[in-house]
Chains A and B, each alone.
Chain A
Amino acid sequence: MAVAAAAARVWGSSRGLGRVGLLLLRRPGARGLARSHPQRQQQHFSSLDDKPQFPGASAEFIDKLEFIQPNVISGIPIYRVMDRQGQIINPSEDPHLPQEKVLKFYKTMTLLNTMDRILYESQRQGRISFYMTNYGEEGTHVGSAAALDSTDLVFGQYREAGVLMYRNYPLELFMAQCYGNVSDLGKGRQMPVHYGCRERHFVTISSPLATQIPQAVGAAYAAKRANANRVIICYFGEGAASEGDAHAGFNFAATLECPIIFFCRNNGYAISTPTSEQYRGDGIAARGPGYGILSIRVDGNDVFAVYNATKEARRRAVAENQPFLIEAMTYRIGHHSTSDDSSAYRSVDEVNYWDKQDHPISRLRHYLQSCGWWDDEQEKAWRKQSRKKVMEAFEQAERKLKPSPSLLFSDVYQEMPTQLRKQQESLARHLQAYGEHYPLDHFEK
């Protein structure tokens, strides 16, 4: 409209010229001239009162040329409840959880830590093929898992074992999946740490990154339709958030009004890639508003902050059928996996800082101790007990057989098609003839 008025002034008010002028000055956008109102071209405007009519945005006009400056120096603030010494900062934010629950937080995080250390070692010794630890991120798992209902569906990436542990997934099954033995619910088909549990509403992990994000949105949509009173939570790292699937998931969740919590573990690294090479904006939380999603950034090493944010997000997501984005800031203390040696790209000092000065487990321990709910003796006893439990499960898992080779062919489809059955029979014949060249003793028949 302002353009039209300017055109009228430049070209004069004579209709013929004015119209031509307007046609020349109107920049052909994607919509081009097709949208122009034939009548308006002939009006004389006083433009100052006009409101924009564009369907694409609800906004005022501005006559000053100004690019919006992204704020990365002073980004979205980080919500926390405890300081680094485990002391509550603002008492009104203390969730006042009962002792039993907080102890469960602590025991879950430490048990996970113990299991991680033993299984990492076991890979080094050639007993399992691969492992990924969760060091430093235990708070993100436990704080969020505790805030959910046990039937809320979880879509994870691969560094969320603590969620499963909080839901009482037995050590035996963690080990079974890592060893790929006959007790593995996944039938030994995937690499270690690709856990899944239908009973505990934890969708099986897959290796491709961020693929779970739009899937979680679909599940949330179905839950909404079913009036299930269920939230879906979707975990991913800050690296995976760069994938197209993340953009797709956020946009779909907002436009289709899905009860979903997007939980981003921003741990500073995607294998060797630091966040400075992963994004230039203000992390992941800043993207939420771009999609119309309510967003928050929390201290991921503060289990109460994670808990509070997730709890509130859950309540509102279900009540209002809209997505929430929680970016939990944390630090990946361990290597990316057993195939990685992070000393190649970061200093030992940096890692030590997080291990010693800002660790979710020690912060919670200080809290517990200051409440009088834990002491050094209990710590010693629990360390011994948890280690024993893990070692037992570990030794059992190692002794078990691997699943039968015939399971290579089932579950590809619900029913086995002829071609696969033929391949299965062909393998069986091959093993019959040449079995001595294969370690068949380790496999169930």
Chain B
Amino acid sequence: MAATAVTVGRLLRLRAAGAEGHWRRLRGAGLPRGFLQPASADGDAAQRRQVAHFTFQPDPEPLEYGQTQKMNLFQAVTSALDNSLAKDPTAVIFGEDVAFGGVFRCTVGLRDKYGKDRVFNTPLCEQGIVGFGIGIAVTGATAIAEIQFADYIFPAFDQIVNEAAKYRYRSGDLFNCGSLTIRSPWGCVGHGALYHSQSPEAFFAHCPGIKVVIPRSPFQAKGLLLSCIEDKNPCIFFEPKILYRAAVEQVPIEPYNIPLSQAEVIQEGSDVTLVAWGTQVHVVREVASMAHEKLGVSCEVIDLRTIIPWDVDTVCKSVIKTGRLLVSHEAPLTGGFASEISSTVQVE
């Protein structure tokens, strides 16, 4: 059991190294092409400066939700927000820089469409943004707060953990802030370094009372975000920023829901269960196909989707079948959410 896990782990690392020949530029990440002379006239070397450690694999076009449109992840988010504000007259969106469209363009056009009392900037203060959002939700209105980068969510940690998560419980269900959703760009992007790349889901996993959700694709993002907004519990929706532009697929125009706390088996297999979420799902998918090609190993790939409350049953059912588990995440290893998954799987 350990041997296969190690080999698959080795494959993950091989994959990372072997990606050297296929660098692709992350668009919009820097200076316009013509501004600097290329380091060498050789086009191949210039291309090597562009990086992505994975290939986004779009899912097949969903047919059951009506007409679809090609959208990238930020457009899928905009679409979900658009649907929400159209359906729910109490819904408001707020945070730093959301009025002009947001630093990642997730709220483009919404202020013009729905008005400045519904899509508005707040001062630069994350604890204020979340506290304010809780207050809106306490009155029953729908609050969609944006934290500009997940790396900056920590000033709001007290409001999230001590207040939002406990509102219903501590009041004996007299009060709640279930109509609060916090959205935040998450995960590595290549050049983000310490403070534009973090995956803080593990900090929040330790907090009963909130839900934490991470999509792997535009289609998943819209359905999951709509579910978070409609969920009667405060939710944190982390959006993999590297996928904002890089992930493109057909996404339904109309609203639809993808259930929370349900993991998805995106590829069936029999020898080992691979669990991941967000961007890493695409890495792990590639690992699965490499394992199949090079080692003849059949991997079952699971996208966890909701970090808490997480779908223990699906993961355990899979491990019972395969007998082996490998969890992969961008976040630091120690205390990362993989430790919760592996210890629960051991117990069950």
Whether B309 and A417, one on each chain, are in contact in the complex, defined by CB atoms closer than 8 angstroms, is yes
Q: Give bound CA distance, A247 to B158, whole Å.
A: 15
B348's nearest neighbour on chain A, judged by CB, is A422
| B190 interface residue per 8 A CB criterion | no
Q: Chain A 372-414 against B: per-residue CB contact (8 Å), 1 yes, 0 no?
A: 0000000000000000000000000000000000000001111
Whether A211 and B168, one on each chain, are in contact in the complex, defined by CB atoms closer than 8 angstroms, is no
- Count A-side interface residues using an 8 Å CB cutoff: 48
A184's nearest neighbour on chain B, judged by CB, is B172
- Assuming the contacts A215-B134, A248-B131, A252-B132, asked whether A222 and B168 have C-beta atoms less than 8 A apart, the reply is no
| A213 interface residue per 8 A CB criterion | yes
Q: Give bound CA distance, A181 to B162, whole Å.
A: 24
Whether A185 and B159, one on each chain, are in contact in the complex, defined by CB atoms closer than 8 angstroms, is no
What's the least CB distance linking A442 to chain B, in Å? 19
> For window 182-210 of chain A, which residues contact chain B by CB distance below 8 Å?
184-187, 189-190, 194, 196-198, 203-204, 206, 208
Whether B127 and A222, one on each chain, are in contact in the complex, defined by CB atoms closer than 8 angstroms, is no
Sort chain B's interface into a size bin: 35 or more
B135's nearest neighbour on chain A, judged by CB, is A218
Whether B135 and A216, one on each chain, are in contact in the complex, defined by CB atoms closer than 8 angstroms, is yes
| B65 interface residue per 8 A CB criterion | no
Whether A252 and B163, one on each chain, are in contact in the complex, defined by CB atoms closer than 8 angstroms, is no
Whether B313 and A418, one on each chain, are in contact in the complex, defined by CB atoms closer than 8 angstroms, is yes
| A62 interface residue per 8 A CB criterion | no
Whether B131 and A186, one on each chain, are in contact in the complex, defined by CB atoms closer than 8 angstroms, is no
Whether B162 and A206, one on each chain, are in contact in the complex, defined by CB atoms closer than 8 angstroms, is yes
Q: Give bound CA distance, A213 to B162, whole Å.
A: 14
Q: Chain B 214-234 against A: per-residue CB contact (8 Å), 1 yes, 0 no?
A: 000000000000000000110
Interface segment out of the listed B72-80, B117-125, B327-335: B117-125
Q: Chain B 154-170 against A: per-residue CB contact (8 Å), 1 yes, 0 no?
A: 01001100110011111
| A333 interface residue per 8 A CB criterion | no
| B133 interface residue per 8 A CB criterion | yes
Whether B174 and A251, one on each chain, are in contact in the complex, defined by CB atoms closer than 8 angstroms, is no
Whether A218 and B131, one on each chain, are in contact in the complex, defined by CB atoms closer than 8 angstroms, is yes
Number of cross-chain contacts by CB at 8 Å: 155
- Assuming the contacts A189-B170, A218-B134, asked whether A248 and B117 have C-beta atoms less than 8 A apart, the reply is no
Interface centre among A221, A226, A245, A419 (most CB of B within 10 A): A221
| B136 interface residue per 8 A CB criterion | yes
Whether B123 and A251, one on each chain, are in contact in the complex, defined by CB atoms closer than 8 angstroms, is yes
What's the least CB distance linking B323 to chain A, in Å? 23
Whether B158 and A208, one on each chain, are in contact in the complex, defined by CB atoms closer than 8 angstroms, is yes
Whether A418 and B309, one on each chain, are in contact in the complex, defined by CB atoms closer than 8 angstroms, is yes
What's the least CB distance linking B118 to chain A, in Å? 8
Q: Give bound CA distance, A443 to B131, whole Å.
A: 35
| A223 interface residue per 8 A CB criterion | yes
| A285 interface residue per 8 A CB criterion | no
Which of B90, B120, B172, B211 is within 8 Å of A185, CB to CB?
B172
Which of B170, B233, B312 is within 8 Å of A206, CB to CB?
B170
Given the complex, which residues of A lie within 8 Å of B233, measured CB to CB? 413-414
Given the complex, which residues of B lie within 8 Å of A194, measured CB to CB? 170
Whether A214 and B170, one on each chain, are in contact in the complex, defined by CB atoms closer than 8 angstroms, is no
Whether B132 and A217, one on each chain, are in contact in the complex, defined by CB atoms closer than 8 angstroms, is yes
Given the complex, which residues of B lie within 8 Å of A215, measured CB to CB? 131-132, 134-135, 138, 163
Given the complex, which residues of A lie within 8 Å of B312, measured CB to CB? 418-419
Whether B155 and A244, one on each chain, are in contact in the complex, defined by CB atoms closer than 8 angstroms, is yes
What's the least CB distance linking B208 to chain A, in Å? 5
**Can you report 22 A-B residue pairs in the complex whose CB atoms are below 8 A from each other?**
A153-B139, A187-B173, A196-B175, A198-B175, A208-B158, A211-B159, A211-B162, A214-B130, A214-B131, A214-B159, A215-B135, A217-B132, A218-B132, A221-B92, A244-B127, A248-B128, A248-B131, A411-B172, A413-B208, A417-B309, A419-B309, A419-B312
Contact residues of A with B, CB < 8 Å? 153, 155, 184-187, 189-190, 194, 196-198, 203-204, 206, 208, 211, 213-223, 225-226, 244-245, 247-249, 251-252, 255-256, 411-415, 417-420
- Smallest CB-CB A-B distances: 10 pairs: A218-B135, A214-B131, A248-B128, A215-B135, A204-B171, A187-B172, A417-B309, A218-B132, A186-B172, A219-B135
